[in-house]
A and B are shown apart, each in its own frame.
Chain A
Amino acid sequence: MTTEELKAIKVDKSVDARGTSCPGPLLAAKKAIGQIEKGQIMEVLSADEGTKRDIPKWCNKKGYEYLGTVEESGFFRIFLRK
């Protein structure tokens, strides 16, 4: 998806993990994914550079669809569909 499409997307769950460092954002995503239904969309907010690569790999292993990442000022918004 393009950055514009991602920015316009309606998320079902937003996880703010900006106060944690690796592996905090990944664990926050793991905890939150159980709270949404299959097909719903979640975003993970992280200020940790490694999360940009961790979440796509995690999605691939767990069977979730990684949608893309939007870089904001000082953090990332990482989108996925369960």
Chain B
Amino acid sequence: MANKKLTLALFSGSVDKLTAAGVILGGAAAEDMDVDIFVLLQAAFAFKKENAMTNDRVAEITDKKEDFLASLKRLNAPHWTEAFRTAKEMTNVRIHICGFAGKVWHGEKLDDFIDLADDIVGIGEYMTAAEQADINLFI
């Protein structure tokens, strides 16, 4: 039986939403889903090498930022980059950087982004994958 397909249009670059995306990716990995992630505007900023490990972007709960980050530590929750990496190790996850988004943040080459990224693509890739997906999410 063919694996189910998940596409994720990942717009947010904030640690809270990226953490949530990592949790969902874990679920997809447990079920051997094929996953295509399209890294759009703010997320492309987070995927830049110099930004990925910083925790200064916690968008929805800015007044609870310290509580949130402390709770992640208390719960032994992996950093979002590690959650994404684990999912990549366990199932077929491809991470595509939107070419336009990359340029917005001065990322012209794949090497400008963390090694989780597989390629730089145009929006047509997303449209094609989303049409074929069993689940399509926007975060």
Contacts and interface: CB of A to CB of B under 8 A. Distances in A.
Q: Is chain A's interface secondary structure helix, strand, loop, or mixed overall? A: helix
Interface residues of B, number: 12
B30 A26 contact: yes
Given A27-B90, A30-B90, A31-B90, A21 B75 contact: yes
A interface bracket (residues with beta carbon within 8 Å of B): 10 to 19
Interface stretch (B21-29, B99-107, B131-139): B21-29
B30 A30 contact: yes
Contacts, number: 32
Interface of A: 19-24, 26-27, 29-31, 58, 61-62
Interface of B: 23, 26-27, 29-32, 75-77, 86, 90
Nearest to B72: A21
A26 B77 contact: no
Nearest to A28: B30
Contacts of A22: 23, 26
